[in-house]
Chains A and B, each alone.
Chain A
Amino acid sequence: MEIFGGIDLGSSYTKCVLINKKHELLASHIVKTSISFQTNAETVLAGCLQQANRNQNEILSICATGVGRSNCSFADFNKPEIICFARGAWHFHPKACIVVDIGGQDNKVIRLSDEGQQLDFKMNRKCAAGTGSFLQEISRKMDLTTEQMNEYAAKSQTPVTIGSFCTVFTATEIIHHIRTGQDINGILRGVFESVVKRILEMDPLAGTVVLTGGAIARNPVLVDIFREKLTHAVFIPPSPQMVGAHGAAILAAETWHREESERHK
């Protein structure tokens, strides 16, 4: 069996996906990113191999991606995460679309053509507002789990406006709203709405949107708000957080097959 691997060494989580030659998922594994990218990569790969009951030497090619992509010694090559998220999203939704990835430290908007060609892309400015880290910071500040934040926010249809661009000032703004007796559910709904607003400030999202990334995977309220705000269809891949790793694995497979056919010419 031909096996290919993709490893996404993100700022918050490290993800690994193994696929077969048809690009079908064989195994996936995820760990929190710690101080050693290499150790994280080894851990997720070992998790996948165990799950699929395979050995590393059976993998024909591995592509690394994410912020730590050049710190994975056993990868055959690496690609920037935007390329991998685009490829992964296209695998799950092979039509013209706009991929919106909300990652740990950055947001990406990637426009794909009907043929899966990347037409252009945008990244957030050098600021954590509207990223997964923003939600983590609010969760820490309010001493609530992600699940609790979603549970409370889902109960409100009257979001409190969160106006600040800055994560730290947003926390101050939240304290102000709590102090003045605003409904906590509405405050949390407002926090999630502010993430969607930051994305809509990047791009009008005029087309089918494919949502990916850890923030999408862990916060169902975000998906609800996107659906509420957008007039076009919103598509969610089966495992939004693993799309980058899956895309990397597909690129590993495609590159390996291309090189293989060139070798046999």
Chain B
Amino acid sequence: MAELQATQKMKTLLKQYFQDFFSLENNQKPKIAWCTSVGPAEVLIAMGYKVYYPENHGAMLGATRLSSDYIPVANAHGYSPDICSYLTADIGSYLRKETPLTKAYGIPSVPPPDILVYSTNQCHEVNDWFNWYARKLKVPCFGIHPPWKIETMDEEKTSYVESQIHQLISLLEEHSGKKMDYDHLGEIVALSGEASKLWRTFLEYGKLKPSPISFFDGCIQMAPAVVLRGSQAAVDYYRELTAEVKALPKDASAVSGEKTRLYWDGMPIWGKLRFFSDLFARLKTCVTVSTYCNSWIFDEFSDLNPVKSMAAGYTKIFINRSENFKEQTLVALSKEFQVDGILFHDAKTCPYNSNSRFAMPERLITNHKIPCLTINGDLNDLRCFSEEQTITSIETFVEQIADSRRRAGA
């Protein structure tokens, strides 16, 4: 399928977003907060900070393959090749004083932070990542630590995270010298919620057969859902994007002649998006749904109780849940999106978002008769990825599914 028209607008929005970090407001530099990608950004925005997301930079380093240059730099400074390769790529880039943001958006460096805020809801290594910058740049760092591997969300867990967000607000009030305007926070959370609903609408077009969108469209289109959360611009963008997809002909397909549909679990392999997109197109296979793109859907967000709704929304995400919850979710999504199988990406440096490591594929095959394949790779470290092995595995998996369909007489 041709590139969605809205994408051009997204490029303009992103350029503006990055350039704003270096624009003066009333002759003053903006206050900048760094935040994890599924962290409590709305609180920071409501307090007047411009929010920058290091994981977005990590993904950009991967997509441009600059991570291959920067990861070894961090390794040489004592950061193991076995830890998060967003972290090592980003720190390596900082040490080399280089960033692809300069070429892409014309800014001189990553935006310098005044404060660092993370949540361990997706990953526990962000603690080490953000604290490296806290030591290096001598700026305060605050972490939210939600309960992990949650089976059932309840009031106690929500309250626990809610109290941590309130602690963060107190720190920010002290840091900025301003009081939190809770009505404004409600507006910001409502905007995030609205954008999130539209993002869900976009992703749910993957339920159509053939699917007009693929995981690879999602990887491109998700940028505003991450970096423009809490803004009207994100809402407007996803309104336009969903309208564009809705207007496509009924038989529009992301993959020409779609025959097989897959679920992608785990991180993208950023430096190989084109490779995978071409491989799946050749195999007439569409990846219609993914854990990764769904990570920025927050149904709970509400302006009625913004802090509590953030606490719930950011804690109950898939990646932070128990094996049992994940299994049930994967089964349900596989049915909803009519997939023929699930492809697990076991990312060498991302244990938290590699869901194959506790025998999930074996349980899905045995208990739910869902064909599964695990491929080895990494989000950013291409030293951990073999094209040949991956091609053989995926071609075989698609053949296996086709053979099974033939035998079933479908």
Q: Footprint of B on A, CB under 8 Å? A: 67, 79-83, 106, 115, 117-123, 125-126
Do A118 and B403 have beta carbons less than 8 Å apart? yes
Q: Is the interface of B mostly helix, strand, loop or mixed?
A: helix
Q: Does chain A have a CB within 8 A of B389?
A: yes
- Contact between chains at B389 and A123 (CB < 8 Å): yes
**How many A-B Cβ pairs are below 8 Å?**
42
Q: Given the interface contacts A120-B365, A120-B371, A120-B372, does A81 sit within 8 Å of B403 by beta carbon?
A: no
The answer on a CB contact under 8 Å between A126 and B392 is no
- Knowing A118-B400, A120-B365, A126-B384, say if A80 contacts B407 (CB, 8 Å): no
Does the CB pair B396–A106 fall under 8 Å? Answer: no
Q: Write the nearest CB–CB distance from B341 to chain A, whole angstroms.
A: 10
Q: 12 interchain pairs (CB within 8 A)?
A: A67-B388, A80-B391, A80-B392, A80-B395, A82-B396, A83-B396, A117-B407, A118-B399, A118-B403, A122-B374, A123-B393, A126-B389
Q: Is the CB of B376 within 8 A of A117?
A: no
B109 within 8 A of A: no
Residues in chain A near residue B365, CB distance under 8 A: 119-120
Minimal beta-carbon separation of A49 from chain B (angstroms): 28
Q: Contacts A117-B407, A120-B371, A120-B372: A126 and B386 contacting too (C-beta < 8 A)?
A: yes
Please report the C-alpha to C-alpha distance between residue A82 and residue B390 in the assembled complex, in whole angstroms.
12
Across the interface, which residues of B come within 8 angstroms of A119, CB to CB? Answer: 365
| A80 adjacent to B384 (CB under 8 Å) | no
Check if B395 sits within 8 Å of A115, measured CB to CB: no
List, in ascending order, chain B residues with CB within 8 A of A125's CB. Answer: 376
Chain B 372-410 interface 0/1 with A at a Cβ cutoff of 8 Å (1 = within): 101010000000111011011101100110011001000
**B388: which A residues are within 8 A, CB to CB?**
67
Give the 9 A-B residue pairs with the shortest CB-CB distance, closest first.
A82-B396, A80-B395, A126-B386, A80-B396, A118-B400, A80-B392, A125-B376, A83-B399, A126-B376
Q: How far, in angstroms, from A82 to B365 measured CA to CA in the complex? A: 19
**Alpha-carbon distance between A118 and B374 when the two chains are bound, in angstroms:** 16
Residues of A within 8 A of B389 (CB): 106, 123, 126
Given A82-B392, A117-B407, A120-B365, A126 and B385 touching (CB < 8 A)?
Answer: yes
Query: How many angstroms from the CA of A80 to the CA of B373 in the assembled complex?
Result: 15
Residues in B whose Cβ lies below 8 Å from that of A79:
395, 399
The interface residues of chain B lying within 8 Å CB-to-CB of A83 are: 396, 399-400
- A79's nearest neighbour on chain B, judged by CB, is B399
How far does the Cβ of B373 sit from chain A's closest Cβ, in whole Å?
A: 8
In the complex, what's the smallest C-beta–C-beta distance from B158 to chain A, in angstroms?
Answer: 39
Rounded to whole Å, the gap between the CB of B383 and the closest CB of chain A is 9
Report B-chain residues with C-beta under 8 Å of the C-beta of A123. 389, 392-393
Give Cα A122–Cα B389 distance, bound, in whole angstroms.
11
Q: How far is the CB of A258 from chain B (nearest CB, A)?
A: 10
Task: Kindly name the residue among B389, B391, B404, B407 whose own CB sees the greatest number of chain A CB atoms within 10 A.
Answer: B389
Known: A126-B384, A126-B386. A80 touches B399 (CB 8 A): yes
Among B371, B384, B399, the one with the most A-chain Cβ atoms within 10 Å of its Cβ is: B399
Determine the distance from Cα of A119 to Cα of B384 in the docked complex, in whole angstroms.
27
Distance in Å from the Cβ of B360 to the closest Cβ of chain A?
Answer: 14
Residues in A with CB closer than 8 Å to B376 are 125-126
Q: How far is the CB of A83 from chain B (nearest CB, A)?
A: 5
* 9 additional A-B residue pairs with CB within 8 Å, beyond A67-B388, A81-B392, A117-B407: A80-B399, A83-B399, A106-B389, A117-B403, A120-B371, A120-B372, A123-B392, A126-B376, A126-B384
Q: Whole-angstrom distance between the alpha carbons of A257 and B314 in the complex?
A: 57
